[in-house]
């Protein structure tokens, strides 16, 4: 059903489509869908001006479950199609839904080029570190040694770090969130939506069937405090129980190191503050494995991509007279 | 006073090193000749390498032009005149020169070093190699240096003017007015007055050298061709396609998004459209061929006309997205400027071997309309027809051109856009009863609802979808129905395209069927044999899929069917399978267009066989 929207939607459920959701029970995608619907509701998004474009994979079924415009495309190509949508109608709010296989493997090329062009779209990369829809093969983000049908003796490839890749590609907005932490995910999505230019949000997501507990350190309450670093612009990079630990820049090694406040003479003044406009810091934070940095790693707006027939993008439709004039360019003669 | 001999037509070939500016020389000669109201056809023949090592055979670049007061349909089988600026150019091009043809040779370039680079062990100017030809040797290098060096140019820059010197000479021989080129040089080198001056001086010196006629040089006149009345111009194949696409979008009342990735020989379309902002086309150079077609499809989804262009290898990459366009039933125009294949093949050489790829080359039963361009000017009209079909039937359309057409140019009667039939697109905006895959009963096209339309939000995708709602459907009967609908929609286009016409008698012994750039060679071969009293007909297809609805019955009125094509029997097999008729192939996959004589010979064999 595609009933016309007659009231301004304000509730998350107002953004749901009539389609039955076909994800596995317990899949992390449910939480992401909810967070996106809430984000849309919070900004009272107009469904007719909102487009979700996805590739292939479990995550990419996402557009079918929203009542906005949706285009479920082909494997890895969603950023390219979204670029075309945005070029043709810059007024549309365009979201790309992709996964670690779709976005970082088969579609890696489009992801990096969309980021460097800074097309004004939000890219939500659902990272569950496994191929779900093809039944559990290791993916570009699978941890070294992941046993899967395609890697029965354990994967031997170094995993991709999506945030580092995005920063290297020239992204101007890079964030990371965990699906299970819905409120924080919502905050990050709102920031991504506000950002003009490509915003990449890596969402760490649990695949209950093929890679359960892949991000257990971020979902187990007991471990959480020591394992996650919640980023806030301008706030000290502190974590752990009672925020007793922090990150300082070791000037000798030019790297971040964890210090415990009160030990070895380290005080709160030694701890770095987060500056989301600093690309070097963003890169160092993106690389951290313990703790894992969550939140907006980098946000430094730059001019967005506007392809155009003219440099100022003032492509206007030609009149017959103009086309006739162009057809007569060069040398002509009358017989 | 010099008496000029009058010629009906001449084929001149300019050949030199890649760095000698042969393409510029040839295109200047072509434009000047067009202004003299001759009919003409050109054939630029250049290597894939940008600058192969100087003086080598693989660095030779050539430009052939056939011009005349009669109807000229190809660039000519064999040059009457070969202009040669280095030994390698002689080595590569001499075999093409007609028996007893004229050679104009820069003897100054025949140094021991250049002879060795070209692979000559003895000097062909002295060893009798050229005994069967009319040879005019001039030290063009020295003549050019003598003119250009005093104007302040260094040796290397001065020598680069020798193409203009020889152009001046050839202008004199054929009584051409050099004014157009003189103006062009002034404009081109506006910021480098010294270079402009040297080139102009070289052109004038070459012209004057010929005029002094101490060589006993013969001058010729090629009178103007009686042309249809109206404004004429010279149009190149890629340019015509670019203008046709923009005009098609105008007639459809749509903005055009041209998304493309650089590939020889299709890049010219991107260049032309990017350089002409007045056309209002948004150009996007994508990161790869796949992104190019995907961005074009995204643009169509948002209510623009998405267009992409490529060549064989790029088309292979676009295949999956073409399937998506077919599945989601969105309009899209895909231009394939065919080149030699498979794989990288022959990037700068021509071939017609992507016909099967265009018609059948996708996973699943994935039909779409295929059109073919038959000459440079025809690209304009083919592009418009492609836009019409894409938007009317909500389908991707493939337009096949090829490397020969891409780089060739011909005179055309400049069209008037106001006289072309408009076909404005109507988007659906009425939400009442909307079903994304409900169809027009006549065309079987679904409604075009650009993303962003109020109240008509819906989802589409590549997974099989319900024949009405568009929701994901794996239901067996639905897939059967959708497959049938997709086929019926494209087959139905046969009722909306012109009936196939026949050039010549509508029944007889022999009919030649061609498609694409073989038009000129077939047309001339058939005309020549008719002049000898044979009844031969010519059918040239623009619509390759679906085929014109009367084609099958037309063919039954001929005893023999000859299909010349630059591939290994692709149209031949298509005709056999569609109509169960015996069809004789004539195949050429040499990277070069057919010669008229090759088609004539095949026809003679057929006609003699019929007589015996």
- How far does the CA of residue B239 sit from the closest CA of chain A (Å)? 10
CATH of the domain at A34: 3.40.50.970
Q: Closest by alpha carbon to B358, among B349, B370, B346, B376?
A: B370
Task: Tell me if chain B has a CB within 8 Å of the CB of A113.
Answer: yes
Beta bridge partners of B81: B12, B102
Q: Buried (b) or exposed (e) across B289-315, using 16+ Cβ within 10 A?
A: bbbbbbbbbbbbbbbbbbbbbbbbbbb
Burial (CB < 10 A; 0-12, 13-18, 19+), residue B150, is: exposed
Same domain, A250 and A130: no
Would A194 be classed as within a structural domain? Answer: yes
Would A153 be classed as within a structural domain? Answer: yes
Would A289 be classed as within a structural domain? Answer: yes
The answer to whether the Cβ–Cβ distance between B302 and A85 falls below 8 Å is yes
User: A80 with A114: CB under 8 angstroms?
Assistant: yes
Would A325 be classed as within a structural domain? Answer: no
Same domain, A95 and A244: no
Give the best residue of B302, B362, B414, B464 to mutate against chain A (max A CB count within 10 A).
Answer: B302
Q: Which residue of B has its CA nearest to A312?
A: B277
Contacts B301 to A, Cβ<8 Å: 71, 81, 84-85, 88
Distance CA A283, CA B406 (A): 47
The answer to whether the Cβ–Cβ distance between A73 and B282 falls below 8 Å is no
Q: Closest by alpha carbon to B268, among B411, B412, B376?
A: B376
How many helices (DSSP H) and strands (DSSP E) are in chain B?
Answer: 20, 22
The residue range of the domain holding A247 is 238-272
> Among A272, A298, A318, which residue terminates a domain?
A272
Distance CA B118, CA B375 (A): 35
Same domain, A151 and A242: no
How many percent of chain B have pLDDT more than 70?
98
Same domain, A137 and A266: no
Contacts B255 to A, Cβ<8 Å: 88, 315, 317
Dihedral sign of CA atoms B150, B153, B155, B156 in order: negative
Q: What are phi and psi of B325, to 5 degrees?
A: -65, -40
- B558-565 and B508-515 as β-strands: parallel, antiparallel, unpaired? parallel
Q: What local confidence, expressed as pLDDT, does residue A1 receive?
A: 45
Q: What local confidence, expressed as pLDDT, does residue A8 receive?
A: 65
Q: Closest by alpha carbon to B467, among B329, B366, B369?
A: B329
User: A299 with A277: CB under 8 angstroms?
Assistant: yes
Contacts A57 to B, Cβ<8 Å: none
The answer to whether the Cβ–Cβ distance between B281 and A87 falls below 8 Å is no
Q: Closest by alpha carbon to A235, among A292, A283, A295?
A: A295
Beta bridge partners of B565: B587
User: A29 with A23: CB under 8 angstroms?
Assistant: yes
The answer to whether the Cβ–Cβ distance between A89 and B418 falls below 8 Å is no
What ipTM was predicted for this assembly?
0.95
Would A331 be classed as within a structural domain? Answer: no
Q: Virtual CA dihedral for A134, A138, A140, A144, nearest 10 degrees? A: 170
Three-state secondary structure call for residue B418: helix
Q: What local confidence, expressed as pLDDT, does residue B456 receive?
A: 98
Query: How many residue pairs bridge chain A and chain B with CB atoms within 8 Å of each other?
Result: 245
Q: Which of A3, A49, A71 shows the shortest C-beta gap to B461?
A: A71
Q: What local confidence, expressed as pLDDT, does residue B5 receive?
A: 87
User: B236 with B409: CB under 8 angstroms?
Assistant: yes
Q: Which of B247, B279, B455 shows the shortest C-beta gap to A5?
A: B455
The answer to whether the Cβ–Cβ distance between A64 and B469 falls below 8 Å is no
Q: Buried (b) or exposed (e) across B116-140, using 16+ Cβ within 10 A?
A: ebbebeeebbeeebbeebebbebeb
The answer to whether the Cβ–Cβ distance between A48 and B455 falls below 8 Å is yes
How many structural domains compose chain A? 2
User: B404 with B593: CB under 8 angstroms?
Assistant: yes
Q: Closest by alpha carbon to A35, among A70, A4, A8, A62?
A: A62
Q: Which residue of A has its CA nearest to B248?
A: A323
Three-state secondary structure call for residue B538: strand
Query: Averaged over B348-352, what is the pLDDT?
Result: 95
Would A198 be classed as within a structural domain? Answer: yes
Residue window 144-203, chain A: list those with CB within 8 Å of chain B.
none
Q: What local confidence, expressed as pLDDT, does residue A312 receive?
A: 47
Q: Closest by alpha carbon to B189, among B177, B198, B176?
A: B198
| Tens-digit pLDDT string for chain A (335 aa) | 455 555 565 899 999 999 999 999 999 999 999 999 999 999 999 999 999 999 999 999 999 999 999 999 999 999 999 999 999 999 999 999 999 999 999 999 999 999 999 999 999 999 999 999 999 999 999 999 999 999 999 999 999 999 999 999 999 999 999 999 999 999 999 999 999 999 999 999 999 999 999 999 998 888 899 999 999 999 999 999 999 999 999 999 999 999 999 999 999 999 999 999 999 999 999 999 999 999 999 999 999 998 654 444 445 789 999 999 999 987 788 87
Q: Which of B229, B302, B453 shows the shortest C-beta gap to A88?
A: B302
Contacts B270 to A, Cβ<8 Å: none
Beta bridge partners of B410: B235
Name the token pair of A53.
């474009």
Same domain, A222 and A301: yes
Q: How many CA atoms lie within 13 A of B487 on its CB side?
A: 9
Q: What are phi and psi of A259, to 5 degrees?
A: -125, 150
Same domain, A201 and A109: yes
Same domain, A181 and A148: yes
Dump pLDDT digits (tens) for B542-573: 999 999 999 999 999 999 999 999 999 999 99
Contacts A56 to B, Cβ<8 Å: 462
Same domain, A170 and A244: no
Dump pLDDT digits (tens) for B3-31: 688 999 999 999 999 889 999 999 999 99
Distance CA B596, CA B267 (A): 29
The answer to whether the Cβ–Cβ distance between B459 and A63 falls below 8 Å is yes
Residue B48: pLDDT band (50, 70, 90) is: confident
- How far does the CA of residue A147 sit from the closest CA of chain B (Å)? 30
Same domain, A146 and A256: no
Name the token pair of B327.
């599945």
Q: What is the pTM of this model?
A: 0.94
Distances, alpha carbon B87 to alpha carbons B6, B58, B95, B163, B222, in Å: 31, 12, 13, 15, 30
Contacts B269 to A, Cβ<8 Å: none
Task: Tell me if chain B has a CB within 8 Å of the CB of A53.
Answer: yes
Q: Closest by alpha carbon to B501, among B561, B536, B541, B528?
A: B541
Same domain, A224 and A145: yes
Q: What local confidence, expressed as pLDDT, does residue B52 receive?
A: 81
Dump pLDDT digits (tens) for B385-411: 999 999 999 999 999 999 999 999 999
Same domain, A121 and A61: yes
Q: Closest by alpha carbon to A190, among A23, A62, A36, A28?
A: A36
- How far does the CA of residue A269 sit from the closest CA of chain B (Å)? 46
The answer to whether the Cβ–Cβ distance between A335 and B35 falls below 8 Å is no
The answer to whether the Cβ–Cβ distance between B234 and A331 falls below 8 Å is yes
Residue B214: pLDDT band (50, 70, 90) is: low
Same domain, A41 and A116: yes
Q: Virtual CA dihedral for A233, A238, A239, A242, nearest 10 degrees? A: -120
Task: Tell me if chain B has a CB within 8 Å of the CB of A242.
Answer: no
Q: Which residue of A has its CA nearest to B460?
A: A71
Would A172 be classed as within a structural domain? Answer: yes
User: A185 with A170: CB under 8 angstroms?
Assistant: no
Q: What are phi and psi of A229, to 5 degrees?
A: -120, 110
Q: Virtual CA dihedral for A224, A227, A233, A237, nearest 10 degrees? A: 120
- B220-221 and B282-285 as β-strands: parallel, antiparallel, unpaired? unpaired
Name the token pair of B299.
């643009």
Would A301 be classed as within a structural domain? Answer: yes
Contacts B459 to A, Cβ<8 Å: 17, 19, 63-64, 69-72
The answer to whether the Cβ–Cβ distance between B462 and A74 falls below 8 Å is yes
Q: What are phi and psi of B279, to 5 degrees?
A: -70, -15
Task: Tell me if chain B has a CB within 8 Å of the CB of A21.
Answer: no
């Amino acid at each position: 059903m595609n009933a016309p929207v007659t009231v301004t939607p304000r509730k998350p459920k107002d953004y749901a489509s009539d389609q039955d959701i076909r994800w596995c029970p317990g899949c992390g995608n449910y939480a992401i869908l909810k967070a996106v619907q809430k984000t849309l509701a919070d900004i009272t998004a107009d469904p007719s001006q909102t487009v979700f474009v996805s590739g292939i994979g479990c995550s990419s079924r996402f557009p079918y479950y929203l009542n906005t415009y949706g285009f479920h495309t082909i494997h890895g190509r969603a950023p390219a199609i979204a670029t075309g949508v945005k070029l043709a109608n810059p007024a549309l709010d365009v979201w790309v839904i992709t996964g670690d296989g779709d976005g970082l493997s088969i579609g890696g090329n489009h992801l990096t080029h969309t980021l460097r062009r800074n097309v004004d779209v939000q890219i939500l990369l659902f990272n569950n570190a496994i191929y779900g829809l093809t039944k559990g093969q290791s993916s570009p983000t699978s941890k070294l040694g992941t046993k899967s049908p395609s890697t029965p003796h354990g994967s031997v490839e170094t995993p991709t770090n999506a945030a580092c890749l995005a920063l290297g590609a020239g992204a101007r907005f890079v964030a990371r969130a965990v699906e299970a932490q819905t409120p924080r995910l919502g905050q990050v999505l709102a920031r991504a939506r506000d950002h003009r230019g490509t915003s990449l949000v890596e969402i760490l997501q649990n695949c209950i069937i093929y890679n359960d507990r892949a991000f257990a350190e971020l979902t187990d309450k007991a471990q959480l405090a020591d394992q996650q670093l919640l980023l806030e612009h301008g706030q000290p990079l502190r974590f752990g129980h009672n925020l007793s630990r922090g990150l300082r820049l070791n000037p000798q090694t030019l790297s971040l190191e964890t210090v415990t406040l009160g030990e070895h003479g380290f005080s709160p003044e030694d701890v770095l503050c987060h500056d989301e406009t600093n690309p070097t810091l963003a890169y160092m934070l993106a690389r951290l494995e313990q703790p894992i940095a969550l939140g907006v790693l980098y946000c430094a707006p730059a001019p967005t991509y506007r392809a155009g027939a003219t440099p100022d993008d003032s492509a206007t439709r030609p009149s017959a007279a103009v086309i006739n004039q162009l057809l007569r360019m060069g040398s002509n003669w009358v017989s | 006073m010099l008496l000029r001999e009058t010629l009906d037509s001449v084929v001149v070939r300019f050949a030199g090193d890649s760095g000698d500016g042969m393409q510029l020389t040839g295109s200047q000669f072509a434009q000047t000749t067009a202004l003299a109201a001759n009919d003409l056809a050109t054939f630029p023949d250049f290597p894939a390498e940008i600058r192969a090592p100087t003086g080598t055979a693989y660095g030779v670049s050539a430009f052939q032009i056939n011009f005349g007061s009669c109807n000229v349909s190809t660039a000519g089988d064999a040059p009457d005149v070969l202009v040669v600026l280095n030994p390698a150019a002689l080595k590569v091009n001499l075999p093409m020169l007609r028996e007893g043809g004229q050679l104009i040779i820069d003897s100054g370039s025949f140094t021991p070093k250049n002879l060795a680079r070209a692979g000559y062990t003895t000097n062909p100017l002295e060893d009798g190699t050229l005994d069967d030809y009319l040879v005019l040797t001039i030290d063009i290098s020295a003549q050019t240096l003598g003119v250009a060096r005093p104007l302040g140019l260094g040796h290397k820059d001065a020598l680069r003017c020798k193409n203009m010197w020889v152009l001046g000479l050839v202008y004199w021989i054929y009584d051409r007015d050099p004014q157009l080129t003189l103006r062009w040089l002034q404009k081109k080198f506006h910021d480098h007055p010294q270079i402009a001056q040297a080139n102009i001086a070289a052109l004038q010196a070459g012209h004057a050298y010929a005029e002094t006629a101490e060589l006993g040089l013969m001058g010729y006149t090629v009178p103007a061709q009686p042309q249809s009345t109206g404004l004429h111009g010279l149009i190149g194949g890629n340019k015509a396609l670019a203008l046709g696409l923009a005009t098609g979008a105008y007639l459809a009342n749509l903005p055009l998004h041209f998304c493309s990735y650089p590939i020889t020989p299709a890049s010219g379309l991107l260049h032309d459209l990017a350089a002409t902002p007045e056309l209002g086309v948004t150009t996007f150079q994508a990161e790869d061929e796949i992104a190019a077609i995907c961005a074009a499809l995204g643009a169509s989804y948002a209510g623009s006309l998405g267009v992409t262009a490529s060549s064989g290898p790029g088309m292979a990459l676009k295949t999956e997205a073409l399937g998506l366009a077919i599945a989601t039933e969105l309009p899209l125009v895909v231009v394939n400027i065919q080149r030699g294949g498979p794989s990288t093949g022959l990037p700068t050489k021509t071939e017609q071997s992507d016909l099967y790829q265009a018609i059948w080359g996708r996973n699943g039963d994935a039909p779409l309309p295929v059109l073919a361009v038959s000459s440079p000017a025809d690209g304009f009209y083919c592009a418009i027809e492609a836009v019409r079909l894409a938007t009317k039937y909500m389908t991707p359309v493939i337009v096949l051109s090829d490397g020969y057409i891409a780089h060739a140019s011909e005179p055309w009667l400049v069209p008037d856009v106001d006289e072309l039939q408009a076909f404005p697109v109507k988007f659906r905006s009425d939400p009442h009863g909307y079903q994304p895959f409900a169809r027009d009963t006549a065309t079987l096209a679904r409604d075009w609802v650009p993303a962003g339309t109020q109240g008509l939000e819906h989802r589409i995708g590549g997974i099989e979808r319900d024949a009405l709602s568009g929701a994901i459907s794996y239901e067996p009967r639905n897939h059967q129905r959708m497959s049938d609908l997709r086929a019926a929609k494209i087959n139905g286009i046969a009722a909306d395209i012109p009936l196939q016409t026949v050039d010549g008698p509508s029944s007889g012994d022999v009919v030649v069927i061609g498609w694409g750039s073989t038009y000129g060679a077939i047309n001339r071969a058939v005309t020549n044999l008719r002049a000898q009293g044979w009844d031969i007909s010519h059918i040239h297809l623009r619509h390759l899929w679906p085929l014109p609805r009367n084609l099958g019955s037309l063919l039954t009125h001929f005893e023999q069917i000859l299909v010349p094509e630059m591939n290994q029997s692709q149209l031949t097999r298509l005709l056999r399978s569609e109509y169960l008729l015996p069809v004789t192939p004539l195949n050429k996959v040499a990277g070069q267009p057919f010669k008229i004589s090759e088609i004539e010979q095949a026809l003679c064999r057929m006609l003699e066989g019929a007589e015996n």
